[in-house]
Chains A and B, each alone.
Chain A
């Protein structure tokens, strides 16, 4: 296969036009980046190429010949493979079984593991994969599982490999490793399609870049001719203004006070943590993953019972209160896991928006839900937070990640809370969506709400926070004014290299 072209591809979902006459040429042996905001149509376009969706109109050509891809099996036969954003694997089956499943080499009707292993040896070297073939996949980290997925495609002799936002589940080190793999695949002569919304990634690894915005093709150009600014403009249709940071909005009154808090979960223990968040203040929590942030959040929300210490929100002791009572006191929560804790995917946008206000008018009328009022409320919220969907009754499972996050934020900020617990609120979001979340957090602080922001991105913490707390192994090891802190100080506190206090 030398070249692959998609011409005039159009796809509609109901009244929403996901793709409008989009052309895409994939050059063999090169990294073709596909970039755009969430919901721009990148994934839909590739799902069409991989046979998961049918285009309403438009054709796909391979070496000038028109081809039809009605299902993924055909795509695989044509040498096209896709590493999906949410890996579809069998966690209970071994690494080897996951790779060969569906194309097992067999002898006497049994799986010939030796043959499979020898076929894979080369590729393993390429991917620098070192793992026991018999390990159940579920026990391996996500980065390894992603490699297994790549291996699965190579095993099927894929020539075109589509990566759908592969770094959204990876740490910075793992991302570097993946880039190494992609460039090695390129030297092997594979054609790569790299879907992303992170501009620096695309500038780093791609040869060609195609920009989509709201389902329409903006431009295709060689990456060396692109700049971060030009791509941003093409993606969001305007220049990105610097974040507005107007003076300090901190007030003297305390929003949240955590005193001597100890919590034990199945994984980790949080030990004697003490800090305050003032009204109008954004306090960041830095720390390497799983240093006790989860326990802190769950204790404040009311999902974990502390073994000692007090949590006080606006002069009310939260310890004896239930989650819904705490929320009624003015606590709001943007969880880390959008799809599981943040939203109910089977439910409509409207139903998701009312989840925290079931017992308040206008939602509740007697024992009943007033769906008319709910519809009006949801319509209003969709407009205010520019949630893109055909209707308020659209199932949340059909929304892109950015739009799901908008639904969550719209729900949590419906009545200005006194304290917002935001956990990785921009993880996996594109430039525009990240920006709008940041602006909302700043606006919230201006209105006097305290914000406790847990994030793994130091850039985000420095851009937004007044103070930064650092956690390590369940202890609070630093409480610094953002103006006094540097990434280096925070980094060494996170890793425990030296003790500094600001």
Chain B
């Protein structure tokens, strides 16, 4: 409950700050916020678009969370996402004769595998040689982006296109749409299922317990006989796996092919989501939907009023800032809590 309150508090403060920025630029903040709300939740289609935008953020938020909880600051989800998206596309346009359900699951599995495999080297280096994972995973992102960029520009460039994209995947591999007039697809349901599975993992399984112990107190974990290095590797692989799935869901549900540079930084936004959610899978969904709503509403507000989408970036930055300074109730004169 404290967590939900904190989330509400952080968002309200961010909105307040945003209102100040809007007012300073000579507009009425209420008007802008009203429009922002209507454009993100106000209609069936707006809501659908919000959920569509939140889908990749749920995945990347979960992927980041899984690593964070084991005490690993994995910032390489973006890389897994690109690899996963490409793997899904490749399977999707290569094995076109397979039936839909089989092809889709094959695409998802290939993506999960590719995403996990991508983080194996930094995971191993971190666990065995204590190589700082922030540096290694951050740099690997650029390797992944450029590697897929090469693949899509040379060996797998769709003939006759100017844009850097592959040929489309087989029709039967596509994820079904959920709402008319929106690209919202069953990928969103996969995201919810993933959040549920992650919750289940931490609350009810032996592996989840071990992941939590290693994140909370590695010395203790070692002394009671939990294989710390193996758990560290496992958590990073799991993180990469979820990142890979995120890429697959974008490919199978939205782009239907691999497009160079298709992610506007979903992986990095996932870090913000995980931070806001305070490592609670349920709150990851909530935080992702809120950020997704801001993205949806912001895009539309830009069309109606002369307010740049950058406002949304400002709001998001404020949120992350507030979360990072660990704003506390104590500071507000209430009782203390420990995050």
Residues of A bordering B, CB below 8 Å: 301, 303, 322-327, 333, 335, 337, 340-347, 351, 354-356, 358-359, 363-364, 367-369, 371
Q: Does the CB pair B204–A356 fall under 8 Å?
A: no
Tell me the smallest distance from the CB of B228 to a CB of chain A, in Å.
Answer: 10
Q: 10 new A-B pairs (CB below 8 Å) besides A322-B227, A358-B210? A: A323-B223, A324-B227, A327-B224, A341-B219, A342-B223, A343-B220, A344-B213, A356-B224, A358-B209, A369-B205
Q: Does the CB pair A323–B222 fall under 8 Å?
A: yes
Q: Does the CB pair A364–B206 fall under 8 Å?
A: yes
Among A351, A368, A371: residue with most chain B CB under 10 A: A368
What residues of B have a CB within 8 angstroms of the CB of A358 in the complex? Answer: 206, 209-210, 226
Between-chain CB contacts (< 8 Å), 14 pairs: A322-B227, A324-B224, A327-B224, A327-B225, A340-B220, A341-B220, A344-B220, A344-B221, A345-B216, A347-B216, A355-B224, A356-B225, A363-B206, A367-B207
**Which residue of the partner chain, among A301, A367, A369, contacts B223 with CB atoms under 8 Å?**
A301
Q: Kindly state whether residue B217 has any CB partner on chain A within 8 Å.
A: yes
Residues of B bordering A, CB below 8 Å: 204-207, 209-210, 212-213, 216-217, 219-227
8 A-B pairs with the lowest CB-CB distances in the bound complex, closest first: A324-B225, A323-B225, A355-B224, A344-B217, A341-B223, A346-B216, A344-B220, A327-B225
Query: Who on chain B is nearest to A345 by CB?
Result: B217
What residues of B have a CB within 8 angstroms of the CB of A368 in the complex? Answer: 204-206
Q: Does the CB pair A347–B213 fall under 8 Å?
A: yes
Q: Does the CB pair A369–B204 fall under 8 Å?
A: yes
Q: Does the CB pair B219–A324 fall under 8 Å?
A: no
Tell me the smallest distance from the CB of A341 to a CB of chain B, in Å.
Answer: 5
Name B's interface SS.
helix
What residues of A have a CB within 8 angstroms of the CB of B220 in the complex? Answer: 340-344, 355
Q: Does the CB pair A359–B213 fall under 8 Å?
A: no
What residues of A have a CB within 8 angstroms of the CB of B219 in the complex? Answer: 337, 340-341
Tell me the smallest distance from the CB of A170 to a CB of chain B, in Å.
Answer: 24
What residues of A have a CB within 8 angstroms of the CB of B212 in the complex? Answer: 347
What residues of B have a CB within 8 angstroms of the CB of A345 in the complex? Answer: 216-217
Query: Who on chain B is nearest to A326 by CB?
Result: B225
What residues of A have a CB within 8 angstroms of the CB of B222 in the complex? Answer: 303, 323, 341
Report how far A93 CA is from B247 CA in the complex, Å.
46
Known: A340-B217, A345-B217, A346-B217. A333 touches B206 (CB 8 A): no
Report how far A325 CA is from B220 CA in the complex, Å.
16
Report how far A325 CA is from B225 CA in the complex, Å.
8
Among B205, B216, B221, B224: residue with most chain A CB under 10 A: B224
What residues of A have a CB within 8 angstroms of the CB of B216 in the complex? Answer: 344-347
Q: Does the CB pair A367–B205 fall under 8 Å?
A: yes
What residues of B have a CB within 8 angstroms of the CB of A322 in the complex? Answer: 225, 227
Report how far A351 CA is from B220 CA in the complex, Å.
12
What residues of B have a CB within 8 angstroms of the CB of A359 in the complex? Answer: 206
Report how far A436 CA is from B112 CA in the complex, Å.
53
What residues of A have a CB within 8 angstroms of the CB of B224 in the complex? Answer: 323-324, 327, 355-356
